[in-house]
């Protein structure tokens, strides 16, 4: 279980998160929704170690995570994507996948000289893993294309694949479907469900309510730094407070935003 408990986060005098608590279980997809500026990305940044909260704790399976230590948190098996994909545009898709693994696992330089056999075996393993993940993503035929030549939607799929290279316990995904065409969103949805079925923890920030309803087991609604509701997608769609503050129209006529 990945838990953030009673998180307070200030930017100067502005309180961006006010006693925010969320919990995400293995083998489930947890949605984080709310208006722009409500604190969704900030919360992922606290969990991922980018921002140090003024109060609160983050735990994985009961063990406290080091706050403000993104590298350490990645090593503990928590990976995240950003609203704007972070890729090496002038490397191929395949090279990005291999770099994704190195970033998260850390390379032991000494092994390179002292245990070349081990390094070669790891390299083979990483290559096999990259091929299998790209196949799962429906992107194997793109392996030798430059990452910079991919569409925005394909770049987002690639960043998810790069995350998976390090076999993370938890994936934190910031608006993966924004600006992505429906066919690629469908591919994302299948991929997210496969991550869930493997027993991973997935936290998903998304505005597309159809996608949220389709993939999420539980949803948290943030508004101005507060959690204003928590429940199943059906409960959230029927919640009067959520409809007033975020969905803005009766639940049965809500279209994907």
Ligand X SMILES: Nc1ncnc2c1ncn2[C@@H]1O[C@H](COP(=O)(O)OP(=O)(O)O)[C@@H](O)[C@H]1O
Chain contacts with ligand X (rule: CB under 6 A)? 11, 16, 34, 36-42
CB of 37 to ligand X, least distance (A): 4
**Residue in the block written with tokens 């403000």:** 68
The span from the CA of 49 to the CA of 74, in Å, is 9
Using the minimum distance from each CB to ligand X, give the nearer residue, 134 or 172. 172
Using the minimum distance from each CB to Mg ion, give the nearer residue, 28 or 41. 41
Beta bridge partners of 80: 172
Q: Which of 205, 211, 123, 104 is nearest to 163 (CA)?
A: 104
Question: Do the bridges between strand 14-24 and strand 170-174 make them parallel or antiparallel, or are there none, so unpaired?
Answer: unpaired
Residue 146 CB neighbours (<10 A): 16
Using the minimum distance from each CB to Mg ion, give the nearer residue, 133 or 185. 185
Q: Residues 139-178: x/- map of binding to Mg ion (CB under 5 A)?
A: ----------------------------------------
CB of 38 to ligand X, least distance (A): 4
SS3 label, residue 126: helix
34 binds, among ligand X, Mg ion, none (CB under 5 to 8 A by kind): ligand X
**Total residues at interface with Mg ion (CB under 5 A):** 1
The span from the CA of 238 to the CA of 226, in Å, is 19
Residue 41 in contact with Mg ion, rule: CB under 5 A:
yes
Q: Is 31:206 a contact under the CB 8 Å cutoff?
A: yes
Residues 6+ apart with CB under 8 A from 72: 49, 65, 66
38 binds, among Mg ion, ligand X, none (CB under 5 to 8 A by kind): ligand X
CB of 40 to Mg ion, least distance (A): 5
CB of 50 to ligand X, least distance (A): 9
Binding site for Mg ion (CB under 5 A): 41
């Amino acid at each position: 279980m990945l838990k953030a408990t009673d998180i307070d986060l200030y930017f100067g005098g502005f309180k961006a998160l006010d006693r925010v608590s969320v919990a995400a279980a293995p083998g489930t997809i947890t949605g984080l929704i709310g208006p722009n500026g409500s604190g969704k990305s900030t919360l992922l940044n606290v969990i991922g170690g980018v921002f140090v909260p003024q109060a609160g704790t983050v735990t994985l399976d009961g063990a406290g995570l080091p706050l403000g230590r993104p590298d350490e948190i990645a090593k503990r098996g928590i990976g995240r994507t950003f609203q704007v994909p972070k890729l090496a545009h002038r490397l191929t898709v395949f090279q990005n996948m291999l770099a994704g693994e190195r970033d998260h696992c850390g390379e032991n330089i000494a092994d390179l000289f002292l245990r070349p056999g081990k390094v070669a075996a790891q390299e083979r393993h990483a290559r096999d893993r990259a091929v299998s993940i790209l196949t799962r993503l429906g992107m194997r035929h793109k392996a030798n294309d430059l990452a910079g030549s991919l569409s925005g939607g394909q770049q987002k799929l690639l960043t998810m694949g790069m995350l998976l290279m390090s076999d993370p316990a938890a994936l934190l995904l910031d608006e993966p479907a924004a600006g992505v065409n429906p066919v690629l969103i469908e591919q994302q949805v299948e991929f997210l469900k496969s991550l869930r079925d493997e027993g991973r923890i997935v936290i998903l920030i998304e505005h597309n309510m159809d996608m949220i309803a389709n993939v999420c087991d539980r949803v948290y609604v943030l508004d101005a730094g507060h959690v204003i509701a928590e429940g199943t997608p059906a409960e959230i769609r029927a919640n009067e407070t959520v409809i007033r503050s975020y969905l803005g129209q009766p639940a049965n006529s809500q279209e994907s935003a």
